[in-house]
Amino acid sequence: MSIQERGDDVTGQNWWRGAAIYQVYPRSFADSNGDGIGDLPGIRARLEHIASLGVEAIWLSPFFKSPMKDFGYDVADYCDIDPLFGTLEDFDRLVERAHALGLRVIIDQVFSHTSDQHPWFKESRSSRTNSRADWYVWADAKPDGSPPSNWQSVFGGPAWAWDARRRQYYLHNFLTEQPDLNVHNPAVQDALLECGRFWLERGVDGFRVDAIDYAMHDPALTDNPPATSAGKLPTRPIDFQEARYNKSHADIVKFIERIRALADSYGDRFTVAEVGGEGGEPVMKLFTAGERRFHTAYGFNFLYAESFSPPLIRSVLENWPDDGATGWPSWAFSNHDAPRAVSRWVAPSDRIIGAQLAMLLLVCLRGNIFLYQGEELGLPQASIAFEDLRDPEAIANWPLTLGRDGARTPMPWASAAGYGGFSTRRPWLPIPNEHLALAVDVQERDSTSQLAVTRRFIALRNRSSALRVGSLRVLEASPAILAIERSAGGERLLCLFNFGSVTHTVSAIPAGEWRAVESVGGAGLWTLPAMSGLIVQRM
């Protein structure tokens, strides 16, 4: 079924509203040429698997030309493919095949920084008078030679690096090899938008814009104040301060409106912002306000949550009300930067039911939902030995910051094949034995597997206006029990969850006749065993 045949969603709204989107981390999805690293032809060969889940789109993490210091988020050429992943022709074939299967293609755009190997930066650092001298954030040292401000890098240490060519510091909110662009400069904005246009012309259906809150800084270089949060053990210098002035400048919204205008000029394109860190929700709402900014922002509320918590879920959902003024939310439980949810939320003995319960909860949320590759298999976080680590953050902060490698291990396609069917040689990260037992070929043969229930739950969401775009009301959020109501038109659903260790009987049953439409963990009318969930529909 092609995109044209698929049409709009069940409500006639834009395709993206309420959509399920599948994130692909290209290095770890499928290797077609036997070099141990996933690539674009490998993704193309596995698109049928993604389409079988019922999702509307795929989001591809970076595949651009890069020195790979941060595995693609250090871009050296916005308009070319890194040879590790293939060619532009490979990308075009991937998009064509995805569209034929009814899948739209969303790609990352990294507009806050580049690689230090990008031609723009090479020219910018060559002198203070060249044509791109102010395309990056440069500043003189203080009289004592120290950095211009106290800003700290996400990856550890000062966010400033000295460059002898210009005898100035440049800003890098991430790795030293990732200099920050000066997006206050209109010429930089113009250049970035032309890079976005390049991919829109190749048929992409939208952008996930990485770290957009870091795109503009306070030009006065005001020092950040000390952090006021209590109870959190600092593991990096950045944890000691509130990131107030090195990001989230008010003028970012003007650039966001230019990004949205570009996307809108190509029709039904979709834009989603990444805004991370504590206190990010006001910025997310600012970046999605009205009809001229991002369609949605990618929520981090659940990505680092330590357990199923009805009170947390309630506060998060009610902070994005359907009031006509607040933007449209998006949710994910796992991604390439966060430990996999099933390992955070349940004990190893409960991982099978925990993964199913998490998937049922995800499809019941109001907003867009993002699935990270392997989530449909219930993959737990991999344990990576220090000598196998590749993540620069994990290596620099070992062992307190375990890093991102455990969520980035290769997809297991075939349990008995060498390297799980991912590659014909040793992959860039090891595949844990416990992942092989959860391989796609194993789960395809099991009607009760996480893969089977994922397909079933997404199919329910796709045919339900209430789940896709309906209103949401939290009825109960005790320490163990969550009850939410989803409704649209004449359709009314109750979504009930017991995250506790004892059976719960639903006592306050809303008036009317109800029938069960989906359940996990043995839940039924109106009994919820420990670790169970139930969706009922009013008849």
**210 tagged catalytic:** yes
Catalytic residue, from 274, 375, 376, 518: name it: 274
Asked if 103 contacts 57 with a C-beta cutoff of 8 angstroms, the reply is yes
Q: Could you give the CA distance from residue 99 to residue 299 in angstroms, rounded to a whole number?
A: 27
* Beta pairing, strands 20-24 & 368-372: parallel
3-class secondary-structure state, position 279 = coil
Nearest to 19 by CA among 154, 162, 205, 152: 205
Question: Amino acid identity of 315?
Answer: S
Sign of the CA dihedral running 500, 503, 508, 513: positive
In angstroms, the first-to-last Cα distance of the chain is 32
What single-letter amino acid sits at 228?
Answer: T
Structure tokens at 75: 């871009």
Rounded (10°) CA dihedral 374, 376, 381, 384:
-20
Task: Catalytic residue, from 210, 337, 391, 393: name it.
Answer: 210
Distance CA 357, CA 354 (A): 5
Q: Which residues in 260-280 are b (16+ Cβ under 10 Å) and which e?
A: bebbeeeeebbbbbbbbbeeb
Is the peptide bond between 510 and the residue preceding it cis, with omega within 30 degrees of 0? Answer: no
CB atoms within 10 A of CB 241: 19
Q: Is 201 a catalytic residue?
A: no
Could you tell me which of 272, 281, 283 has the C-alpha nearest to residue 247?
Answer: 283
Which distant-in-sequence residues (6+ apart) come within 8 Å of 440 by Cβ?
A: 49, 377, 411, 412, 413, 414, 421, 451
> Do residues 357 and 533 touch, judged by C-beta distance below 8 A?
yes
All residues at 6 or more sequence positions from 323 whose CB lies less than 8 Å from its CB, including other chains = none
Residues 27, 37: Cα–Cα separation, whole Å: 5
b/e burial code for range 313-350 (CB count within 10 A of at least 16 → b): bbebbeebeeeeeebbbbbbbbbbbbbbbbbbbbeeeb
Long-range contacts of 220-224 (CB under 8 A, 24+ apart): 220/245, 221/139, 221/148, 221/149, 221/151, 221/245, 222/149, 223/149, 223/150, 223/151, 224/149, 224/150, 224/151, 224/152
DSSP state of 296: E
Kindly list the catalytic residues: 210, 274
